[in-house]
A and B are shown apart, each in its own frame.
Chain A
Amino acid sequence: EAQVTQNPRYLITVTGKKLTVTCSQNMNHEYMSWYRQDPGLGLRQIYYSMNVEVTDKGDVPEGYKVSRKEKRNFPLILESPSPNQTSLYFCASSLSIGRRQETQYFGPGTRLLVL
């Protein structure tokens, strides 16, 4: 089954404790992206990757890191989480970015609470 998986689905942590949220897709997609979703603000892009070893900042990259060492994986790293990073996070992937934006497939989401 074609899908985007994220782990963990739920996470409670404390300020300053490094964490990683994994994202994996099995569709051989080139483009992957991380979003956060907060009430009233909609989806905001954190980082995106157009291919292996190519990453770029989205709208709200501060406090986050990403890496793209393999095509299928795109982990999101919070080196020193703070309470304002409490949010619902989504990973997404699409075939390519190209001349036309391809349909994005979203993971199930990771709900993060930073105390």
Chain B
Amino acid sequence: EDQVTQSPEALRLQEGESSSLNCSYTVSGLRGLFWYRQDPGKGPEFLFTLYSAGEEKEKERLKATLTKKESFLHITAPKPEDSATYLCAVHSSNYQLIWGAGTKLIIKP
């Protein structure tokens, strides 16, 4: 069964304290892995798409990486405005998007 698991469920960091969020997946035929950011009461906002193992993408303080079993979202020197829920989704060979439950990130000033 296709599955996406994100960990941890919640993460509290001090401003400037770097860390990583994990997205583990088991799907038949990965066609793409997506990272989204969601602020409270709002729709998810696209961050990155990764298609093959070894691929990396960066945007400001965020960097996403992909292996054959998992993806990491690294956040370097985070700021309070980086606080949000980060969602991972995987596109499988049957064109379905499978979503993880998300990691709630809180950055304290």
Contacts and interface: CB of A to CB of B under 8 A. Distances in A.
A103 B42 contact: no
A97 B95 contact: yes
A105 B34 CA distance: 12
Contacts of B51: 100
Contacts of A4: 43
Contacts of A67: none
A109 B101 contact: no
Contacts of B49: 101, 103
Contact of B46 (A40, A42, A103, A108): A103
A40 B41 CA distance: 15
Q: Is the interface of A mostly helix, strand, loop or mixed?
A: loop
B79 interface: no
Interface string A37-71: 00011111100000000000010000000000000
A44 B99 contact: yes
Contact of A42 (B32, B42, B45, B87): B87
Given A100-B91, A101-B91, 18 more contacts: A4-B43, A33-B97, A42-B87, A42-B99, A42-B101, A42-B102, A43-B87, A44-B99, A45-B96, A99-B31, A100-B32, A101-B34, A103-B46, A104-B46, A104-B97, A106-B43, A106-B44, A108-B43
17 contacts: A41-B101, A42-B101, A42-B102, A43-B44, A45-B96, A100-B32, A100-B91, A101-B31, A101-B95, A103-B34, A103-B46, A103-B49, A104-B97, A106-B44, A106-B45, A107-B43, A108-B42
